[in-house]
Structure 1
C-alpha cells in the first residue's frame, strides 16, 4: 500500500514508462520524465485547488471510479509500447481526456506551455505529454482509491494535505495560475476591500440615481418602443422557426412536449438511430437557452429546455455528452474564451443539479473558434453565440 497519493502517482512514471513516451516524442528519457512528473503534479494540484467547487469533486471521483478505470486497464497502458502509451482509442484514454478537461478546461495550453518551459520541451510536445499523462494519473488515482478504500471526500482531503509536496515537481509560478485564490482567501480579500471602500458607495449610488433621472426625462420614447417591438418579433420568429410542438414519450414513461426542429427532437433521433455512430463533428445547438448579457448566468426561461435534456439523458443512461460554449469575435478573445467556458460549465452544472451523473458530462469553451455565421453581420454574430451538445457515448 502506497504511503501517499504523490508516491502512488509518481511510481507509475519511472524510466520504463518515460522511455516509451520519449521514443514517441523523440526526446530524452530524463526530459520526458521531468515533464510527466510536472504534468502529474499540475493535475493533482488542480484537483486540490478546485476540490471545494460545487460539483467538481463528484465529477472527478466519477471518472476515477469509472469501471473502465480498472487495474488491468492501467497495467495494459503502462506495459504497452508505442501508441498504447497515449491511451488513444482506449476507454481509459477517453476517460483521461475528460479528466484533463475537467481539471483545466480552456487552460490546458497555458499549463502545457509552462511545463514545456521548465522541462525543455516545445509547447506542442508538452501538450502531447500532458495528454499522455492524464490517463496514467487517472489510473494511479483509481488504484490508490481501491487499495485504500477512499471516498470522494477522503481522496480530496488526502490530495489537499499533500499539495505542498507537489511544488517541487511544478514549474515556478504554475501553482498560482492553476486556479484563483482559495475561496476563503478571496472572501477575506473582498471583505477587506469592501471595508476600505465602503464610504464610496453612497457617492456612487447617488451618481447612478442622478444619471437614471436624467435618462428617464430625456430618453426618446419612439426608439425604445421600436427596440422592444423588434426584440419581441425576433423572439417570436425564433420560436416559430422551431416548428410545431408535439408530445413524445421516452422509454422510462416520461412525456415531453418538444418542437419539431428543436435540439430535443434532433438529439432523440440521433440517440435512437443505431446506424449513426458517435461522431466528433456532430453537434446539436441549444435553441431556447438565454444568459444574462455578457455573463454566464442562465435565465429562468432556460429551465424548460434544460429539464427536457435532463429527462432524455435519464431515459438513456448509457449516453454521455459534451457541452460546448461559443461566442462571436467581438471583444477580447481571452475574455470570450472565459465566458464561453463558464457558460458551458453552468449548463453542465444545471444538468447535474437535475440528477445527471457528473461522470456522464464534460464541458469546454471554444470562444470565437468554429463560427457558424458571418461575424460581420449581427445575424451571423447571433448564430455564433451558442451552446451546443455532442454525444460522446451512446
Structure 2
C-alpha cells in the first residue's frame, strides 16, 4: 500500500533537496537523510494518532481550518533563505507543541540519537516536516471542502502504511507520539459514547448505527480519493516526434507506471516504495543478494529528458532520487552510466547527446551526496543496440540509459 501523505513529503524532501539542506545545517547528507526518513513517517503517525480520538480529531480539524499555512513549500526557500526556513521550522514546532503539549523536544532528542545529527538540526527538521505536512493537510481540507469526519477517515486509512514506514529503532521510544495502530472502524466519527465493556455472557454484536457510521466514513474516503484522481494530471507528458531525429535515449519512453508498488527495505533501516519490476526495484533486489556478481547491466526505464536536451524531466527526478538512496544505503557500490541511441539521425548530434545525458544523471547523483569517484559515464551512441533499428518499437528500445554495476 502507498501513502498519499508520505509520498507528498518525499516529493518535497527529495535527496537533492536534503543534500542542500544538510549543507545549510552543517550536517553530513547521510545522517540528515536518515533523520528525515524517520521523522516523515513518525510525525505523520503522530498526526494520525491525534485523529484517532474525538477530542484530538476536533483539535486537529480546528487547527487546519483556522491556521494560515504556506501550502506549496519551495525547498529552495527552505534551504536558501534562512529567515524563511527558521519561520517554517518555528511554525511547525509550535504546531507540534499545540498537539502534544510539552513533548516535542523528546521527538528531536530521539531523532538526534537515532540519526547522529545535532539536537538543533533535529529540532529544525522536525519543525520543517510538521510545517510541510500540516500545510498539505490544510490544502486538502480547504480545496476539497472536507468535513471533520472525512479528514478523520482519510488519516486513519493510512495508519498501517505510515506505522510500517517508521524505523523500528526509532519507533520504540515514540509511543507517546504515534500511539498504537488501530483499525479505522473502531474510532467514533461523531460525538457518540463509546460502548462500555460487556461483563455478561451475551454475544456483543455490533449496533446497526456503528455499521452506518463506518459506511459513511468509507463513502467519504472513496469520494475524496476519486475526486483526487480526477484532478491529478496525467503522467503521460512525453510525446514521440516523427520529425525530430535528435531526441534520443529514453526521452520518449512511455511514462505510465504499473499500479503495483512494493516496499523495499534497504540497509540502515531506510525503506522505499518502488514500482514492482522497475529499474530501481530490480537493482535493490540484486544488491540484497549477497551472491550477486559484477558487472551487471540494468536499463534505466522511465528516465526521461526534455526534447533535444540533457535536462532530466520533473517526472523522472523521483526515479533518480530513488537511485541516490540506494547508493547511499550501499556505500561501496560503484556504477557506470551509459548513454545509447538508435541508428537514425546525425551521429554528430546524437552521440554527444547520449554522453551528455549520462553525465546529467551523474551530476544529479553527485548533487545528492554521492561521491563522484563512484560514478563514471560512457557515450555509447548506436554501437550497442538491443533491438532492430528497422521498427519504431526497436528504435525506442535502443534509445536508453544503461546503468552498469562495476563494483559491490
Regarding TM over 0.5, the answer is no
Higher helix share: 1
TM-score (norm 2): 0.37
TM-score (norm 1): 0.39
